[in-house]
Amino acid sequence: MITLAGIIGSGKSSLTEILSEELGAKAFYEPVEDNPVLPLFYKGNEIAAKKRAEGDAEATNPYAYLLQTFFLNRRFAMIKKAMQDDNNVLDRSIYEDAIFMKMNTDMGNATEVEYDIYKKLLDNMLEELPYAAHKKSPDLMVMIDVSYDTMIKRIQKRGREYEQVENDPSLVEYYQRLLGYYDEWKEEYSASPLLIIDGDKYDFVNNVADRNKVLDIIETRLVELGNLTEEEFLTIKKGRASSEI
């Protein structure tokens, strides 16, 4: 089981699809379009930032805790289902979920009480995961590391109105802060082996050579971990080359 991590617009869903096709694995995608809370959250961020600018230092986003518990519940259900069998790829996992609640608390969008309740709930879920699933943790976590400029270009390309900095200037600070929290997360993550892919260097969506390089990097790591044999890796790589002729 491979899980993907990375900031908004880093290419997690795209790489999940690529890996699923390459390895013959089942892909698990976190739904976005049917999330009733996400647009409210972005609007709440804007309102809270405005109130703080006007002098209300304790103004919070009323939807921050709601959004994170919504995501936490969905991600727990997704990874629990994926862990019932082998050979799966997830475009998001429960392991990076706390980044967002921690940052929203530090920014004043959520209260310390809300963060404490959220953390206890997350810890309880992680304790139960080995009992509820086939695996204790992912075999490999793949993080796509991107810069602010790359992230913004990809956010603009996919065109979700509530994610655009042109529509909400407060998102500039939010996204830049989030990059910093991901930098801390990748240094602290320890639930499974972690592989970091340079998303600025490799355009695995639009460039075939870059895509092949990223796939080689990931599959080489799977061989090192004992999840692929050398023979399986060479067969997969040969099949990929044949399909490109």
Mean pLDDT of 112-128: 94
- Residue 137: name the closest of 185, 82, 97, 68 by CA: 82
The string of pLDDT tens digits covering residues 15-63 is 999 999 999 999 999 877 778 888 898 788 788 888 888 998 888 999 9
Mean pLDDT of 199-219: 95
The CATH code that applies to domain 2-243 is 3.40.50.300
Give the DSSP letter of residue 96: G
User: Is residue 206's pLDDT more than 80?
Assistant: yes
Predicted TM-score (pTM) of the model is 0.89
Q: Where is 5: in which H helix or E strand?
A: strand 2-5
- The full set of domain ranges for the chain reads 2-243
Higher pLDDT, 185 or 136: 185
User: Is residue 245's pLDDT more than 60?
Assistant: no
Encode 162-224 in three state secondary structure: HHCCCCCCHHHHHHHHHHHHHHHHHHHCCCCCEEEEECCCCCCCCCHHHHHHHHHHHHHHHHH
- Residue 93: name the closest of 150, 137, 145, 37 by CA: 137
Annotated active-site residue 91? The verdict is: yes
User: Is residue 210's pLDDT more than 70?
Assistant: yes
Give the three-class secondary structure for 31: coil
Q: Please tell me the distance from the alpha carbon of residue 202 to that of residue 2, in angstroms, as a whole number.
A: 19
The string of pLDDT tens digits covering residues 64-114 is 999 999 999 999 999 988 888 889 999 998 999 999 999 989 988 899 999
Give the DSSP letter of residue 58: T
Distances (CA, A) of 140 to 116, 165, 192: 29, 33, 6
Residue 67 tokens, joined: 């959004």
Higher pLDDT, 91 or 136: 91
From 34, 86, 91, 200, active-site residue: 91
